[in-house]
Structure 1
Amino acid sequence: MFDPTIFDNLKVVLEGAVYDMDLNDSVVIMGRTDRIELSSMSRSFSMTMARKEDGVAEGSFMLTASVADLAAELLADSKQQPGCSLELSFVFPITDIERDCSESVSMIGEIWGAGPQLSQCIMMEYGEQPRRMKSKLDVKFVKKLDERHIDDIPSLLEHFHLCLERLDERIIE
């Protein structure tokens, strides 16, 4: 009989919770990717969404597990901590690089606290007039997730939705 891995269990719970958000009309799902990378034997699962009402900012999460994570789990290796990595990304339009980037990092930092690492990059299409810029803000959780974190998923998605809401409010102002 198939025994699901940590990745499988977290993926199913995350996916179900996001589809529930879609059914409740709080988000619209814009994309879903479920990959097995055969060259590195890694797995990844991601979903991209925006708020249903006034949703300008897009948010996505990516759950990943490497072959080392899978091996540590299957072989019960006490030297390795099995689990999955989680990274969130938010893409939103900006007009003033310094002000908008600073405000968004501060706002997202307030929501998530000191735990995750934040990074941000600016994107624009060369030659596009008027020049429209977007920011991609990444929230990377350093600590690996496992089944003990399943009960935290509703709270995680509430924080995720709050980020989309606050980014949208900032954009609309």
Structure 2
Amino acid sequence: MMFDPTIFDNLKVVFEGAMYDMDLSGELQIVNRTDRVELSAMSRSFGMEAVRKPDGAVKGSFFLKASLADLSAELLAEQGKQPGCSLELEFVYPIQEPARDCEEAEAILRSIWGEAPSILQVVQTVYGQEPSVRTNHVTVQFSRKLDERQIDDIPSLLEHLALSMERLERQGNAASR
């Protein structure tokens, strides 16, 4: 019997290949990769994290996720349910002035991704660390599920990820002057 890959499996292979192509071309450098099966919730997630250059200040990641409900909708061909995967992007980088830098980050990401995704920014600081270093953790969540119909869009999506990293890094360099 042949194994029929799920939507998650197919998207994962394309995302992974496209990221390794960007790493091979020198556009990004992959620094982490996660591939998880959560047995308690029967969900899967796959993600890769990269920087633009070895000393890049902005780490950019994508996370592809499929829940039990997503898998069930696909395998059982449940009526009225849209099978697919959720996609989340994350950017982590140091900031100087939270109010100013977060507002600028929101504007940069909206100019690239538009108004559709939700953007959440969480600023963290380490207690007792002097000088105080603040880190912005930005999450971009897409409400629409992905499936094989978006496979051709994945390289472009990852180019937008790299562009977001470049512009956030440029913002950070300008803010530190």
Contact 1:54/1:168 (<8 A) preserved: no
Alpha-carbon RMSD across the aligned residues, in angstroms, is 0.9
TM-score by length of 2: 0.96
Listed one character per residue, the Cα deviations across residues 134-154 of structure 1 (whole Å, up to 9, x for unaligned) are 101110000000000001101
Task: Give the structure 2 partner of residue 30 of structure 1.
Answer: 31
Q: Which amino acid aligns with 2:40?
A: S
Establish whether residue 17 from structure 1 lines up as the match of residue 13 from structure 2: no
Task: Give the structure 2 partner of residue 68 of structure 1.
Answer: 69
Q: In percent, how many aligned pairs have the same letter?
A: 57
Task: Give the structure 1 partner of residue 110 of structure 2.
Answer: 109
Contact 1:26/1:53 (<8 A) preserved: no
Task: Give the structure 1 partner of residue 162 of structure 2.
Answer: 161
Task: Give the structure 1 partner of residue 59 of structure 2.
Answer: 58
Equivalents in 1 of 2:98, 2:119: separation in Å? 16
1:53, CA displacement in angstroms?
A: 6.3
Q: Which amino acid aligns with 1:154?
A: P
Equivalents in 1 of 2:62, 2:27: separation in Å? 16
Task: Give the structure 1 partner of residue 41 of structure 2.
Answer: 40
1:172, CA displacement in angstroms?
A: 1.5
Matches within 5 A, 1:87-98: 87-98=88-99
Contact 1:57/1:164 (<8 A) preserved: yes
1:54, CA displacement in angstroms?
A: 5.6
Gaps of 5+ in 1: none
Equivalents in 2 of 1:117, 1:172: separation in Å? 25
Structure with the larger strand share: 1
